[in-house]
Structure 1
Amino acid sequence: MHAWEAIEQSLTFIEEHLAEEISTETLANTVGLSPFYFQRLFKRLVNKSVQEYVKLRRLAKVIENLSDSEQRILDVALDYGFSSHANFTRAFKETYGITPEDYRRDLPMLNTFDKPEVSMNYVLVDEGVPLVAGDIVLEIQRKSLANPEIYLGLETAVHISEQIPAGESTGVDAPGQLWKRYHTEKASIAAILDTRVEMGMSHTEDATQGLFTYFAGGLAQNVQGQLQGGFVKKELPAGEYIVCKIEAEKFEDLVTVALDQASKYLFGTWLPHHNLTTEPFSAEKYYRDAKDMAYMEIWVKPLPQDSSV
């Protein structure tokens, strides 16, 4: 068994026993490692200690239940191993910056810690070859965009430290909140939108400021005159792109867990192994008319090889 396979096995065990007491010794025994070596290996591959990871996964499950059921907050917390309301509230606020009561009242979009697909760090696929990992399928290929695409939407400045790395930072999901606002306000520009395609664009202009700009909007047609209501226009330029297509069973999984996992693979594994760097932006294209399976694409513009040295 490879080391990463042992950790993946332990992650599956954790998911199946989140409502129970989980000790490091038990996890180590399930994969045949000493507790000392298991903890070191877990921290290296998951970037969290065992107990911190368990806490974050429990909190993620609690959030699902707080938003989807009428259960009392204390009952949900007890169901997932928190010993008291005070203990749970402290952990929740330290992780997300708000109390459980604040969350249930306002239901903001939150960044929760996803179960990682450790195997993706050890698999390198060629262009055009699908990779199946967990519940998602991704495929990376090159595409040419002959003409620029125009999108209309909203944008906001986001603190890099609060959103990056994808799938690991916790707190209020600023891009997710922007999408909620866009879907609430887009009726005023609906006449010039193609509702089948939407785009989220991240653009880092000055990383020294610790901020990036995030845009959320829809594909536009026949844009004329002055934009009202805070809407802005963004262009996906013509040119050559590396495109990562992602498929998942449900749209909700696609835009959360699947997007996080695919982004990590594209930027952390695939591009570095191909000695490729990209311009300081990425575009997420969401296709709303998919019937059989939800899918989206991440578009990045590679820099010329001599510019990336």
Structure 2
Amino acid sequence: MAKLERAAAVTRMQMYIEENLDKDITLHILAQQAGYSPWHSAKMFKEYTNTSPFEYIRKLRLSRAALVLRDEQLRVIDVALDFVFDSHEGFTRAFRKQFGVTPKSYQKKTPPIPLFTPYPVESYYLMGEERGDLPPLSKNLHVRLIHFPARKLIFLCGEKAESYIEYAREVGCDVWGILASIKEALYEPVGLWLPENIRPAGASAYAQGVEVPIDYQGMIPEGFELLTLPACTMLLFQGDPYDESRFDEAIPAVMHQIDRYDPQENNCQWAENEAPRIQLEPQGYRGYIEARPVHFNL
């Protein structure tokens, strides 16, 4: 239980940072959130996130600042001050060190960059833990048909991965941040299973990607692939919201329901070779969401 208590303390610090990026954040304040001494809080934070609290804060501020520069027409100095940097010069140095491009240049061209996208550490340490204080998982499955127009997919495969966990171990966790930075994205980044007929030779079945307009002419991040996807219809499945601490139970439960679903209920058949099967980033407040390609019965 000690590990879970420390993970929860680190998550409280993460949540405080997330909600107060525009304010001065001291180690003393973070220690109050954690409920430990400043020294012990900093030590725990480094142990559970592989970075110091203030490096974590800097990386997160720069990533949020990058999104503001990408999406809003603001002066660089104003963005710097909004994210608690003392000067234009200091912000520019830190931004270039993290992303390899100056804020001004990024604002003009908005190339894909590796945004810092952390996740609450407590969720990982609650995997498999018995939680008698939580209600049973919901078995509701919400289903609807969605039509997608022709579009392009920017994606990165591994070599053998067939699931998110295998992909993260093989490729790492930085891909999501790069995908999230692509300004022209039609939707949020997704995990996806590529059918063999459109999969690059020697590539993994599981990949991560983001869809962009069919006329996309922007930059493709190094090592990534670009694929044209034809118009298609998909069945979109969504489970009920779940407690984040039970994601390791909730997600497989919904996936099992999807596997057993009969598309004939919607006058459809599975069309696995017509488009990738996709999953949105699992977030407890909205439930697990996955979409699979289908075509209508004649």
With structure 1 as the length reference, what TM-score do the two structures score? Answer: 0.51
For the 8 Å contact 1:201–1:215, the answer to whether it is kept is no
1:138-170, Cα deviation, whole Å (9 max, x unpaired): x898x9xxxxx998543445376999644x558
Residue 14 of structure 2 is matched in structure 1 by: 11
Contact 2:149 2:232 in 1 (8 A): yes
- Report Cα offsets for 1:237-284 as digits up to 9, x if no partner: 99xxxx77487xxxxxxxxxxxxx99xx56x9966xxxxxxxxx8623
- 1:154 aligned to 2:152? yes
Q: Are 2:27 and 1:24 equivalent residues in the alignment?
A: yes
Query: CA–CA distance in 1 between the matches of 2:23 and 2:75?
Result: 19
Match of 1:201 among 192, 195, 207: 192
Return the alpha-carbon distance in structure 2 between the equivalents of residues 30 and 237 of structure 1. 44
Offset at residue 73 of structure 1 (A): 0.6
Aligned partners of 1:154 and 1:232 also within 8 Å: yes
Q: Select the residue among 270, 276, 289 that pairs with 1:297.
A: 289
The equivalent residue for 2:273 is: none
1:173 aligns with 2:179: yes
Please, which of 73, 78, 81 is the counterpart of residue 75 of structure 1? 78
TM-superposed CA distance for 1:20, in Å, is: 3.2
Distance 1:215 1:8, change over 3 A: closer
State how far apart, in whole Å, the 2-side matches of 1:37 and 1:269 are.
Answer: 33
Residues in 1 aligned to 2:140 and 2:97: alpha-carbon distance in whole angstroms = 37
| TM-score (norm. length: structure 2) | 0.52
Change in Cα spacing, 1:57 to 1:156, as seen in structure 2 (3 Å) is: closer
Please give the secondary structure, in 1, of the residue aligned with 2:39.
Answer: helix
Where do 5+ consecutive residues of structure 2 fail to align?
159-166, 214-226, 253-275, 293-298
Mapped to 2, the partners of 1:206 and 1:231 lie a distance apart of 16
For residue 92 of structure 1, report the CA deviation from its aligned partner: 1.6
On the 8 A contact 2:17/2:57 being kept in 1, the answer is yes
Out of 225, 228, 231, the residue aligned to residue 231 of structure 1 is: 228
Contact (CA 8 Å) 2:155, 2:210: kept in 1 or not? no
1: CA distance between counterparts of 2:67 and 2:184? Answer: 20
Which position in structure 1 is the counterpart of 2:121? Answer: 118
Give the AA of the match of 2:39: F
Assess if the C-alpha contact under 8 Å between 2:157 and 2:203 holds in 1: no
Q: In structure 1, what residue type is equivalent to 2:152?
A: L
Tell me: CA distance 1:285–1:213, structure 2 relative to 1, closer, same or farther (3 Å).
closer
Q: CA deviation at 1:53?
A: 0.9
Q: Unpaired segments of 5 or more residues in structure 1?
A: 131-138, 144-148, 184-198, 219-229, 248-260, 272-280, 287-292, 301-309
The match for 2:87 is 84
Q: Structure 1 or 2: larger strand share? A: 1
Q: What is the distance in 2 between the residues matched to 1:151 and 1:206?
A: 26
SS in structure 1 at match of 2:30: helix
Paired residue for 2:269? Answer: none
What displacement does 1:54 show?
A: 0.3
Q: Is the 8 A contact 1:156 1:178 kept in 2?
A: no
Question: Could you tell me which of 137, 144, 150 is aligned with 1:129?
Answer: 137
Could you tell me how far 1:171 is from its partner in structure 2?
A: 6.0
Letter in 2 for 1:297: I
Q: Residue type of the partner of 2:192? A: M
Structure 1 residue 22, shift from structure 2 partner: 2.4
The structure 2 residue matched to 1:104, chosen from 104, 107, 113, is 107
Which AA in structure 1 matches 2:52? S
Instruction: Check conservation: 2:251, 2:288, Cα contact below 8 A.
Output: no
